[in-house]
A and B are shown apart, each in its own frame.
Chain A
């Protein structure tokens, strides 16, 4: 009986999602009958793993995803704590923070562009205040090789998401344990650092994993805001994929397999974190 109920969902997951990964893996191994490639080979992997461009892309993707997710978690948790501290008074403010969650990633890229490009609004303010005398004096934050524009867009999108998923758990802990700690003479920083944070850590970690994996595997923001060199991995994969020369496609699939590999590690971590949550019953 449960199997019948699960059948439709599982059919889609297996025949589209899992099949997509498997076909991608086969093509990355050189099995691509549609263009006459039928022998398995590791040559595409060897080529990609020798390519310095690939490694700078991998580094760029890991670095932008990690920095943006880490900062989003810090900002998001602090915002949740801040909301907790004055939630009852201010319902309007409580809803405002959710706005970036509903703004699509493509639009978030536009926002960063409008604000932080060299002719953007921030540069204009600095010009008016006399800090810069020319738009080219404004440090390039968009299309820059440090990926600052990409990171800003992901933080703006990610932090409120972290707030959303940690607020309830922080509130629960706050209602029960914090008062005890305060009663026993802890100050509010100690309550936050020694009580709230450790107890909410598994939930915070699961949030980190979700936004890290998303930013690591998404195309839109690095394509719109990232530098042309190094390119983020998903962008690089797509460039190989869309090439008119179909024989280039297996290279793109190798990169896809790398993205999938990293995200599968994230899945394992995610499952482990959830076992932690269950164990401590939070």
Chain B
């Protein structure tokens, strides 16, 4: 019974992706065949054909999301620190404010701010898209780093300061290594959130800034299963690689750091 249940769960999780993968490598797969009749890599060839620019857009999207991730972490780090180690007026209000983007849809916000972005000249630019992508990442960045700070405390930093380390040295040799696992986990979530955004990129980028999600969307919309599947396979693999690398990094850091901290 347990084995059956387990296999059923795995089937539900994996089967849709398997069918999608098959769709990505067919020439045609007409009703009512259960397996594809002739295999072809035309969709992948099309994607990597330089004249379609899809591969370049993929690279651009990876860079864009990497910048969004870096910037979100950069501003979340001090905020998480402030929330972890200081008591101040309005702390609970700030906590709620930073939580809002997790629950209030970014879609409504983006439509509301769009006009202001146009006025400021940052609509249809990378800057505007990066700014709007940072917003949904903030709750994750702050919350995960806050947990890490609360878990680790700041005794280490105090000790280093007392022993004469400069602020920069403390950051470089104590704080960053200590919170690195948290940074990597938060970073991968923020990266995925940014990389998979369709609507707000489309709205704020005005069609001028084209990300990978925007290449994929029309193919799904028009029901072109082979192209949509091939693009999706690359999409999922890309995210998988990023996560794999980050999990390995976290693993390594824990392994190395265990000598000193745990």
Considering the complex, give the chain B residue whose CB is closest to the CB of A135: B31
Q: Mark B71-98, 1 if CB is under 8 A from A, else 0.
A: 0001110110111001010000010111
Known: A99-B14, A237-B108. A1 touches B220 (CB 8 A): no
- CB pair A213 B105 closer than 8 Å: yes
- CB pair A10 B94 closer than 8 Å: yes
Known: A106-B220, A124-B33, A213-B105. A9 touches B142 (CB 8 A): yes
Q: Mark A71-93, 1 if CB is under 8 A from B, else 0.
A: 00000000100100110001001
B16 close to chain A: CB less than 8 A: yes
A252 proximity list for chain B (CB < 8 A): 111
The listed residue with most B CB atoms (<10 A of its CB), out of A121, A127, A128, is: A121
- CB pair B2 A260 closer than 8 Å: no
B262 close to chain A: CB less than 8 A: no
B5 proximity list for chain A (CB < 8 A): 82
- Count residues of A near B (Cβ-Cβ below 8 Å): 84
A216 close to chain B: CB less than 8 A: yes
B228 close to chain A: CB less than 8 A: yes
CA distance A278 to B60 in the complex (A): 43
- CB pair A104 B6 closer than 8 Å: no
CA distance A248 to B115 in the complex (A): 15
CA distance A17 to B74 in the complex (A): 18
- CB pair A217 B108 closer than 8 Å: yes
Give B146 Cβ to nearest chain A Cβ, in Å: 12
Give B234 Cβ to nearest chain A Cβ, in Å: 10
A24 proximity list for chain B (CB < 8 A): 108-109, 111-112
The listed residue with most B CB atoms (<10 A of its CB), out of A17, A124, A214, A257, is: A17
Q: Mark A209-252, 1 if CB is under 8 A from B, else 0.
A: 11001101111100110000000001001100100000000001
A22 close to chain B: CB less than 8 A: yes
Give B66 Cβ to nearest chain A Cβ, in Å: 17
Q: Mark B120-133, 1 if CB is under 8 A from A, else 0.
A: 00000000000110
Give B181 Cβ to nearest chain A Cβ, in Å: 15
Give B130 Cβ to nearest chain A Cβ, in Å: 11
A184 close to chain B: CB less than 8 A: no
B168 close to chain A: CB less than 8 A: no
Give A100 Cβ to nearest chain B Cβ, in Å: 6
The listed residue with most B CB atoms (<10 A of its CB), out of A16, A93, A256, is: A16
Give A6 Cβ to nearest chain B Cβ, in Å: 5
B213 close to chain A: CB less than 8 A: yes
Known: A114-B225, A119-B31, A271-B96. A260 touches B82 (CB 8 A): no
A42 proximity list for chain B (CB < 8 A): none
A173 close to chain B: CB less than 8 A: no
A102 proximity list for chain B (CB < 8 A): 192, 236, 239-240, 243
B225 proximity list for chain A (CB < 8 A): 110, 113-114
The listed residue with most A CB atoms (<10 A of its CB), out of B13, B14, B198, is: B13
- CB pair B88 A3 closer than 8 Å: yes
Q: Which of A8-24 contact B (CB under 8 A)?
A: 8-10, 12-14, 16-24
Known: A114-B20, A114-B225, A210-B102. A6 touches B236 (CB 8 A): no
A3 proximity list for chain B (CB < 8 A): 82, 88
Can you name 24 A-B residue pairings with CB atoms under 8 Å? Answer: A5-B78, A6-B83, A9-B78, A13-B98, A13-B135, A21-B109, A86-B2, A105-B196, A106-B196, A110-B229, A114-B19, A114-B20, A123-B32, A128-B34, A210-B102, A217-B106, A220-B199, A223-B221, A234-B108, A241-B111, A256-B111, A259-B105, A260-B104, A263-B105
Contacts A99-B14, A259-B108 supplied; 6 other A-B pairs, CB < 8 Å: A21-B112, A24-B108, A25-B112, A110-B232, A260-B108, A267-B104
- Among all A-B residue pairs, the 10 with the closest Cβ atoms: A217-B105, A24-B112, A20-B113, A20-B109, A104-B196, A2-B86, A5-B82, A5-B78, A20-B112, A2-B82
